[in-house]
Structure 1
C-alpha cells in the first residue's frame, strides 16, 4: 500500500507536467504569425503569381487571415482563386508533411476585392471590401499583431487607416515600395502625413536582393533553380514556368520570409527578408511652377509639382490635365482655388523629364526636369514628412548596395540559404 501511495502522486505529477507541455505545444502552434496579404496579382507584374506559390507552400507556418486583391490593371480575386485551385491539387501531398496547411476552402473564404484604381491627390476614396476586411482582421482579439504584407498598391491600407485609425495599434506593415510607391504615391503620402506613428517597413530597393543573383551559385541563377528543383513537381510546379519562364523573381516574397527567419520585432537585425534602419522623415520636394535639372531629389522620395491656373467649378481631385513622366502618363488634379497638382516618385536614381497636356491653356505644354539620386531618404528638406519612432527603410551603407539598389545585399547574401530551404519543400510534391 505504501508503494502504491507513492506511485499515484508520481503519476499525477507526470501527467500534470505532460499537460503543461501539451499546453505549451498548443500555444506554440497558435502563435504562428498572423498575416494578411494585399497584392496586385494579375495586374501589372506577374511576379505575384510566383510569390503566391511560395506563400502557399509555406502556408503551414502562418495564420493567413486575408488575401486582398489590390491591382492596377485587370487583376481580381479570380487570380487568387486560380492559384488556390492549384494548391488544392497539391494539398493532400503537402498536408502529409504538415497538417497545419490551411484548407483551400478556408483560403477562398478570406479572399477579398480591394481597390482597382490609384487614389486621388488626397490619398483615399471610399471603403472597399478589401479595406473593410483589413479593419475586421486588425480588430480581432489577439495577443499578436496582424502583419499586413503589401505586395502592390497601398490604397486599401490607406483607406483602412483613414476609416479606422485605431487599428494602427494592432498592425505591423511590410511594404514592397519602389515601383509600387511610384504608382501609389498619393496613398503613400496620405499615410506618411497623417499616420506617421504606423509601424512600417518601407522596402524600396532592399527586396531586389531576392532576385539579383550575380553572386549566386550557378544552380540558383536564372531559370536554373526551376530546372533543378521545381520542374515536374506538383500542379504549382507546372504552373510556375508561366511566369518569367521560370526565372526566380518573386520580388514580394521578402515580406513573407522576413517573418520566417530572424526576429521580426527587430527590423535592424538579420533576416532573409532584409535588414533595415530607422528613418525619421520621408523625402518630399514641392516645386511651385515646375523644376529643372538643377533640382535634385531623393530616389523614392515624393516629388510634388503645383501650378496656378483658372478657378474651375469642378470638384476637388478632378483630373483636368495629364503629365508624361519618363514615358508614362500620370493624372493631374485640380486642388481648388486655381491650384493644380501632381505627385510622383522615381523608382530608382534617374534623370527625369516631364511634359504636360491639357485643354486648359495654362497647363498645356509645361516641360521640366529633375534628377533623383541615392541614397534614400537623401538630404533633409522643409517639405519632408516627419515620421514616428517605428518607420524603417533601406540601409544607406553603400557596401550593402547591389549596383544602384540600396540595401539589396542584406537579402542576397542569404540567397543560397532561403532557396535551398524552399527546394526541400518542393521535394514534398514528388510523385
Structure 2
C-alpha cells in the first residue's frame, strides 16, 4: 500500500504545480495584453505643423494605448487649445472608428488629461517653476501600478526637467523617448540639467533616427510624402479633411516614431528592431566648454552641448538673469549672468555644419564677441573632459556608418519600417470612409 500513497501524494503535488503554472501563464498573458501607458508632451501649434499630423495619427491609434497625459509645451503660439481642437475632430470620426475597435477612449476623458505645460525655455539652471503639465506628469508617474509610464516628448523637454527637479523619485517609474535634434537646440538648458543631475534616467535620446520617417530614398511611389495623402487620406473623415492644412498634406510627422516605437517591437529592448528605431546604450553625452571664443579649429559633436563662458563686469542682477544674446544663423539664444563677473550661454548644433556666432549686449565686454565652431557626426563624438557621464539606461542613435541616411545618424533603423507603418495606417484611414 506504500506505492499508491506515494503516487497519490505525487499526483496532488503535480496538480498543484500545474495550477500554479497555469495561473502564472495567465498573469503573464494579461500583463502582455495591457495597453502601454503613455504621456505625450507636444509643441503642437508652434512653428512646425508636423505635430498636428502626429496628433491625428495618435488619435487614430488611441485604442491601443492608455493615454494619461496630453501636454502643450510650445514656446511659440501653440497652446493646450490646439490639442483640444484635434480631439474635437476625433470625436466626429469616433463612431466610424468604434465600428472596428471598442477600445477607443471617450473624448471627454481625453479632454480631462489635456494640460498646459511650459511656454518658455528653461534658464541656465535648467528649470524654472512647476507647470500644470509638470505637476500632471508627477501625478501620473506616482500611480500605484506596475507598468512604466512612457513619456513621449515631441518638443522641448522643459516639463520633464521640472518634474524631475520637483520629484526625482519618479525616475524609477518612467521611460522617456525624446525626439531631440532641433528640440535639443532650443531646450539645451533643460537637457543640460537632466543629463548632469539625472544620468540614471531611462532615456532614448533620438536626435536623428526619427528623420528616417520622412526621408524617402527607397519609398514606393504611392507612399512618398507627397503621394500618400491623395492615395490614402483624402476624403476620409474629419481628420482626413483637416490633414491637408499641414504641409499641404505632405507626410512629415517627425515625432511619430516615439509612438511607433511602442507599436511594433519590444520597447524594453531599445537595441532591438522597432518601428520607432533601434538605439545603442551610451555612457556619455557630449559637452564642450569654451572659456574663450571658439575658432574653425574647434570641432564639436553634432547634437552635443556647447557652452561659451565670458568674463565681464560684476553687475547687480540676480544670478541666471538674461543679459546678452547669442546669434547664430539669424536665430537667437539668451545668455546669462552666472555670478562674480562670469557669463554663459549654451547651444546644441542640430546638424553637421560650420557655424558662426556673435554676441549682442548693452554690456560693452559682452557685445560683439565672435567665433566659429565645426560640428561633426557621429554623436556623441570624441570624449571631452566635460562630457556628461550617463548610467545604465540612456540610449542614442546608432553610430554605424551603414545606418546613416544622408547625414542623419541611425535614420535607416526607422526608414526600413516606413512602408510597413504607412500601409498599416492606410488600413485605419479606410475605417473613415
Q: For residues 257-272 of structure 1, what are the structure 2 equivalents within 5 Å?
A: 257-272=260-275
Q: Which residue of 390, 396, 400 maps to 1:397?
A: 400
1:20-419 equivalences in 2 (<5 Å): 27=30, 31-419=34-422
Q: Distance in 1 between matches of 2:404 and 2:413?
A: 9
Residue number among 418, 422, 425 corresponding to 2:425 in the alignment: 422
SS of the residue corresponding to residue 72 of structure 1 reads: coil
Determine helix, strand or coil for the equivalent of 1:60: helix
Question: In 1, are the aligned partners of 2:284 and 2:389 still within 8 Å (CA)?
Answer: yes
2: distance between equivalents of 1:222 and 1:123? 36
The residue matched to 2:275 in structure 1 has which SS? Answer: coil
Hey, what's the Cα distance between the residues in 2 that align with 1:297 and 1:28? 45
Greater mean deviation of Cα atoms: 325-334 or 392-401: 325-334
How far apart in 1 are the matches of 2:417 and 2:260?
11
Contact 1:289 1:308 in 2 (8 A): no
CA apart distance, 1:326: 2.1
Query: Offset at 1:325?
Result: 1.2
Q: Is the 8 A contact 1:40 1:48 kept in 2?
A: yes
Of 216-225 and 131-140, more deviation after overlay is shown by 216-225
Deviation at 1:107, TM superposition (A): 0.3
Q: TM-score, normalized by length of structure 1?
A: 0.94
How far residue 27 of structure 1 moved from its aligned partner, in angstroms, is: 3.2
SS of residue matched to 1:37: strand
Q: Structure 1 pair 369/287, CA: closer, same or farther in 2 (3 Å)? A: same
In the alignment, structure 1 segments of 5+ residues that lack a partner are 1-15
CA–CA distance in 2 between the matches of 1:20 and 1:109?
A: 36
Unaligned stretches of 5+ in structure 2? 1-18
- Give the TM-score normalised by structure 2: 0.93
Count of matched residue positions in the alignment of Structure 1 and Structure 2: 414
Task: Give 1:5's aligned residue.
Answer: none
Structure 1 equivalent of residue 8 of structure 2: none
**1:20 CA displacement:** 7.7
Distance 1:397 1:103 in 2: 44
CA shift, 1:24, in A, is 6.2
Report the CA distance shift for 1:312/1:91 in structure 2 as closer, same or farther (over 3 A). same
Name segments (4+ residues, structure 1) moved above 4 Å: 23-26
Q: 2:340 & 2:23 partners in 1: Cα distance?
A: 68
For residues 294 and 122 of structure 1, the distance between their equivalents in structure 2, rounded to whole angstroms, comes to 29
How far is the alpha carbon of 1:44 from its aligned partner?
2.0
Q: CA deviation at 1:26?
A: 9.3
Contact 1:44-1:72 within 8 A present in 2 as well:
no
Q: Report the CA distance between 1:45 and its aligned residue.
A: 0.9
- Determine the C-alpha separation between the residues in 2 that align with 1:24 and 1:308: 62
Deviation for aligned residue 1:29: 8.4
- Offset of 1:222 from its aligned partner? 2.4
Deviations along 1:93-126, whole A, 9 cap, x unmatched? 1011111100110000000000100000000011
Tell me the SS of whatever aligns to 2:98: helix
Which secondary structure state, in structure 2, belongs to the residue aligned with residue 97 of structure 1?
A: coil
Once the two structures are superposed, what CA deviation does each residue of 1:354-405 show, in whole Å capped at 9, x if it has no partner?
0011110000110000000000000000110000110000000010001100
1: CA distance between counterparts of 2:78 and 2:311?
37
Q: Distance in 2 between matches of 1:168 and 1:30?
A: 24
